[in-house]
Chains A and B, each alone.
Chain A
Amino acid sequence: MTSAPANPLASGSEPDQTDAAPVTERRALEGTGSRGSRIVGTLALISLAATALYGLVLSPPDANQGNAARLLYIHVPTATVAYLAFGVTAFGSAMYLWKRTEFWDLLAGASAEVGVVFTGICLLTGMLWGRPIWGVYWVWDARLTTTLLLFVLFLGYLALRRVLVGSPSRAKWSAVAGIVAAVDIPIVHYSTSWWNTLHQGTTISPQKTQMGGLMLFTLGLGFLSFLLVYWWLMIHRFRLQYLETRLDEVGLDTAIAERRAEAGRAGTSGPTAAGPELAEVR
């Protein structure tokens, strides 16, 4: 997974005057994509299109909820994938503290990013669905409250990661924060459900309806689509984080190489003589 993006950067670390410009170009073209990621991306796109087709056109409107029920084809899969993503973050954090390899840290970080996006989509679609069905955008139901807190918890986790960029202890501290957040989830869930049942009496929940075969198929398609989207985003975010951690190390070398190349093109003796000096200072 990590070998593909590493190559262009590795060759860029040699401050060779003639190679500097082509290396930059090649890297810009390559980005974080690869053959594998393009295959996953294409599959995700196809299945998303199929989900849209089945969800919006082919599947029938729900007997009780009408067309609003179509939101569930997005809502339920994003919610499930978000929980999966935070599970991966917790697992990656724990594995990092055990193995201390960069892979687990980057996995945890990338998964939290994607998880927060999916939680956001899940909350948004839930509110849009709640308005016509429940009459309000939000109810203080245990599951909703837990999901909202989860969203804020991992926003905090991401903020911490962002602030710690460049710190030698970033991975370790993030891992601790990730585990602490994960440990909190069951406590939050229990407290909100007790709180809710004691305060509100009954909980509003969607009626238990029998799902038709076509609707079930569409929901399954939704699950497949959003799992593929998760996978595809994970590949890119993982590679991007990998590149970001190397930016500090490689950035200076590249900058010096570029300046040298500029000086070489200018052709005067003064600036080229400054080259070795710069290297020594560094």
Chain B
Amino acid sequence: MFRDAALVAGKDLRIELRSRVGLNQVAPFALLVLVLFAFALDPDRGVLRRATPGLFWITVMLATLLAVQRSFAAESADGTRDQLRLSGLDPAGIFLGKLVGIAAELLALEVLLLGGVAILYSAHLRELQLLLPTCLAAAVGLGAAGTLYGALVAGVRGRETLLPLLLLPIVAPVLIGATSAFEAALGGADLTVAQGWRWLALLIVFALVYVGAGILAFGSLLEES
């Protein structure tokens, strides 16, 4: 299972590295969103700084939609889905592989965005021992839910509009948890760092539940077209 996962993840990440779409399009898009938020919210009144955790994670979610769509566009073109099924790889392994691919991209993007908010929103990145695990747990949770729904809508017409409707309400707990953990870490809100750890625990539970659900369900998602 883990060998298969490594194969699939390696394939996905190689595609990303060679096509450079993530670097050339998704990352600039995410930074653009940060700039747009600054335009929408008056940057001089401190609104931006107070809203930084929420804006950060909204940006990550928008980028998640793009990452998931890209990851499964590769599988639905040219009958690769059938090839994947015929390859004899363990479905759970395929799920974990796609998940690792998406989560790795998201994690890279989150690190980039942390730099972005530090510079553009002048956020003080304190409590890195809380911020970084939050980024990791959220990336895994978003990746797991995204992989499940990405596979679900991959072969379906109208998937560009269906994916956000399906995925965003499911990952609402990630938005709540990650935003609150960031608020605790960055200060400003009335949350203490200790409360931030509790939110991280919720993120980890979410990630575990969706990784588990994906491992169990992915086999039946891959069967038949």
Contacts of A64 in B (CB 8 A): none
Which residues of chain B have C-beta atoms less than 8 A from A152's C-beta? 165, 169
CB of A156 within 8 A of CB of B165, answer yes
Q: Kindly supply a per-residue 1/0 record for chain B positions 186-225, scoring 1 wherever the CB is within 8 Å of any chain A CB and 0 otherwise.
A: 0000010001001100100110011001000100110111
Write out the residue numbers on chain A whose beta carbons fall within 8 Å of the beta carbon of B209.
183, 187
Main secondary structure on chain A at its contact with chain B?
A: helix
B221 touches A187 (CB 8 A): no
CB of B166 within 8 Å of the partner chain: yes
Taking the nearest CB of chain B, how far is it from the CB of A105, in angstroms?
Answer: 13
Residue from B145, B158, B176, B202 with most neighbouring chain A CB atoms (10 Å): B176
Task: Please list the 7 inter-chain residue pairs (A to B) with the smallest Cβ-Cβ separation, ordered nearest first.
Answer: A191-B173, A156-B166, A152-B169, A156-B165, A191-B176, A153-B169, A187-B173
Tally inter-chain residue pairs, CB-CB below 8 A: 89
User: Do B224 and A187 touch (CB < 8 A)?
Assistant: no
B residues with a Cβ closer than 8 A to A are 145, 148-149, 152-153, 155-158, 162, 165-166, 169-170, 172-173, 176-177, 180, 191, 195, 198-199, 202, 205-206, 209-210, 213, 217, 220-221, 223-225
Given contacts A176-B221, A190-B202, contact A159 B172 (CB under 8 A): no
Q: Does A168 contact B (CB under 8 A)?
A: yes
Nearest A residue (CB) for B198:
A194
Partner of B148, one of A160, A180, A187: A180
Interchain residue pairs with CB less than 8 A apart (26): A152-B169, A160-B156, A160-B162, A160-B166, A163-B153, A163-B156, A163-B157, A167-B155, A167-B156, A172-B224, A176-B220, A179-B213, A179-B217, A180-B170, A181-B170, A187-B173, A187-B205, A188-B172, A188-B173, A191-B173, A192-B176, A194-B176, A194-B180, A194-B199, A194-B202, A195-B180
A160-B202 in contact (CB<8A): no
CB of A173 within 8 Å of the partner chain? yes
B52 to chain A, nearest CB (A): 16
Q: How far is the CB of B4 from chain A (nearest CB, A)?
A: 20
* Cβ < 8 Å to B, chain A residues 177-209: 177, 179-181, 183-184, 187-188, 190-192, 194-195, 198
Of B162, B176, B220, B223, which one neighbours A159 at CB under 8 angstroms?
B162
Q: Which one of A160, A168, A180 contacts B213 once the chains associate, using CB atoms below 8 Å?
A: A180
A169 beta carbon closer than 8 Å to chain B: yes
Query: Are A167 and B225 in contact, CB atoms less than 8 angstroms apart?
Result: yes
Given contacts A160-B152, A180-B217, A183-B213, contact A195 B176 (CB under 8 A): yes
With both chains docked as a complex, state the minimum distance between the C-beta of A27 and any C-beta of chain B, in angstroms: 30
Q: Is the interface of B mostly helix, strand, loop or mixed?
A: helix
Number of A residues with CB within 8 Å of any CB on chain B: 31
Chain A residues with CB below 8 A from B225, complex form: 167-169
- Interface of A with B (CB < 8 Å)? 97, 149, 152-153, 155-157, 159-160, 163-164, 167-169, 172-173, 176-177, 179-181, 183-184, 187-188, 190-192, 194-195, 198
B221–A173 contact, CB under 8 A? yes
Q: Verify A191–B202 contact, CB threshold 8 A.
A: yes
CA distance in complex: A187, B201 (Å): 12
The docked-state distance in angstroms from the alpha carbon of A194 to that of B201 is: 12
Which single residue of chain A is at the shortest CB-CB distance from B161?
A159
CB neighbours (8 Å) of A172 from chain B are 220-221, 223-224
Contacts of B172 in A (CB 8 A): 149, 188, 191
Known contacts A179-B217, A195-B180; A168 and B170 CB within 8 A of each other = no
Residues in chain B near residue A187, CB distance under 8 A? 173, 202, 205-206, 209
Q: A163-B153, A184-B173, A195-B176 are in contact. List 16 more A-B contacts (CB 8 A).
A: A149-B172, A153-B169, A156-B165, A156-B169, A160-B166, A167-B155, A167-B156, A167-B225, A168-B225, A169-B223, A176-B148, A180-B149, A180-B213, A187-B209, A188-B172, A191-B172
CA of A168 to CA of B224, assembled, Å: 7
B165 contacts A164, CB within 8 Å?
A: no
Return chain A residues, CB-CB under 8 Å to B217: 176, 179-180
CA gap between A173 and B173 in the complex, in Å: 23
In the assembly, what is the distance between CA of A180 and CA of B176, in Å? 19
Question: A184 to B176, alpha carbons, bound, how many Å?
Answer: 13
